[in-house]
Chains A and B, each alone.
Chain A
């Protein structure tokens, strides 16, 4: 695969993870009240904020990794 095609694939991956990440933050903003009510209920619903944190770290974590990668900021080989 040529470098240009590889770059295009990497760029497309960054954009896709970025859209997913923005989508999650948009949902958090749109359903702010409902989510806040659910996450501050306490007791066994402690699982909700923990699950949200895991989900955001997975999606946004991928996006941020791809972001620096697409800017050419990578670890020393």
Chain B
């Protein structure tokens, strides 16, 4: 193993990681994933080597996902069978994705690798995030925010019968061929190995292709994240890359967040989950799009860029990424406060009705 520099952690950097972990956990508890993308750059901004940052992120992710999945299973939102089948196929996607990353790094170096990751971010988040956002707006405008039904694609997938491959899933009360779930899990893992958040494919795939509702899909994603995170941690820990101190400090904050995010799902209408996901995906897309010209210029595909402009674009990109997380967290906290207020009013009204009921 190459000699790695494990940083000194002082109070300020510890608090910084705790807070970022808390916000990341809040988002993960609510939408099933999406909190991890900011942690790797956050650790690297403290001087943590890239591979240690990725490994430590992975090591905080699987226990966080486990706690979140157990919590949401208590609310009846998790399809364990779906999560395990997709999680195992996601492991295959992670291994392929890592191998692909290594090939790109060997051929085009660090800049080429950064460019590949940023382009993947923009394409996937632009297409999937745009679709999720459009669907959210459509659902809201149509006034059907209370209930979600499987779309045409999901109904077709549920109608296909391939003997020997059918598995019953309680979340959709239907059997689906694993020839559909395996590629979806694989794509989730592939994305996780590329941009650190497989859920940006995993959750929409479960909603639009398999027909789960947003609550079940986001909760089941936590099982997938647990399986992927555990596999990834073993892989990195085998090579000694995990900084357990960093992972456990982030976990300290993220477990507070994931509990709150999971509680939040019981107060909101299902479309709010899609709203948070869409807002985060599109904002992160803008963040990554900002740095693409920097990498293109470094690869001499575009004209050379002034170092000051490069540094400015990178800083703005990082700030927009933090803004994405803050926006998501803001929507969740607002929805939680409003939901609790509405529940209190409803409970008071019920109590009044019971009191006012005439004695027969």
Contact = CB atoms under 8 A, between A and B. Distances in A.
B242 A40 contact: yes
Given A39-B242, A40-B240, A40-B243, A56 B260 contact: no
A53 B234 CA distance: 12
Interface string A39-50: 111110110111
Nearest to A39: B244
A50 B251 CA distance: 13
Contacts of A74: 263
Name the residue among A25, A53, A54, A75 with the largest chain B CB count within 10 angstroms. Answer: A53
B6 interface: yes
B80 to A, nearest CB: 18
B264 to A, nearest CB: 9
Where chain A touches its partner, the secondary structure class is: helix
Interface in B197-256: 230, 233-234, 237-245, 247-248, 251-252, 255-256
A49 B59 contact: yes
Contacts of A46: 233-234, 237-238
A11 interface: no
Interface residues on chain B, size class: 35 or more
A28 B6 contact: no
Given A57-B63, A64-B256, A75 B75 contact: yes
A7 to B, nearest CB: 18
27 contacts: A25-B248, A28-B248, A35-B245, A36-B244, A39-B240, A39-B244, A40-B241, A40-B242, A40-B243, A42-B1, A42-B237, A43-B238, A46-B238, A52-B248, A53-B59, A53-B62, A53-B251, A54-B63, A56-B248, A57-B67, A57-B251, A57-B255, A64-B67, A64-B255, A64-B258, A75-B262, A76-B266
Given A46-B238, A61-B63, A61-B70, 7 more contacts: A40-B242, A41-B240, A42-B239, A48-B237, A57-B251, A61-B66, A67-B256
Interface of A: 25, 28, 32, 35-36, 39-43, 45-46, 48-50, 52-54, 56-57, 60-61, 64-65, 67-68, 73-76
Interface of B: 1, 4, 6, 59-60, 62-64, 66-67, 70-71, 74-75, 230, 233-234, 237-245, 247-248, 251-252, 255-256, 258-260, 262-263, 266-267, 339-340, 343
The 9 closest A-B pairs by CB, nearest first: A57-B63, A42-B240, A46-B237, A61-B67, A75-B266, A76-B266, A40-B240, A64-B255, A39-B244
